[in-house]
Amino acid sequence: MKHAGEDALGTIEPILGEIRRLEGVRERKPGIFYRKSDAFVHFHEDPAGIFADVRQGREWLRLPVKTAAERRTLVRLVREIVGSE
């Protein structure tokens, strides 16, 4: 699965905007976010759609972000992780 390109990222721009506004989260490259020096969230695309990989502790969770509900779930999870650490 390849990292999401410009066109794919354009379809999820509202999510990217919400993540960009979180305290302590930096976007080093389009769609690739870090906390401190650790990769935190990035996106992939394949024929099945766009997916987000989110670091939760030492584990990576892969979440689909095709539907509005899936996108809300991603944003909620990212906010919870940022707020808990």
- How many other C-beta atoms lie within 10 A of the C-beta of residue 61? 14
pTM of the model: 0.91
Domain edges within the chain: 2-14+22-84
- Give the whole-angstrom CA distance, residue 44 versus residue 73: 17
What's the confidence (pLDDT) of residue 73? 96
pLDDT tens per residue across span 6-63: 999 999 999 999 999 999 999 999 999 999 899 999 999 989 999 999 999 999 999 9
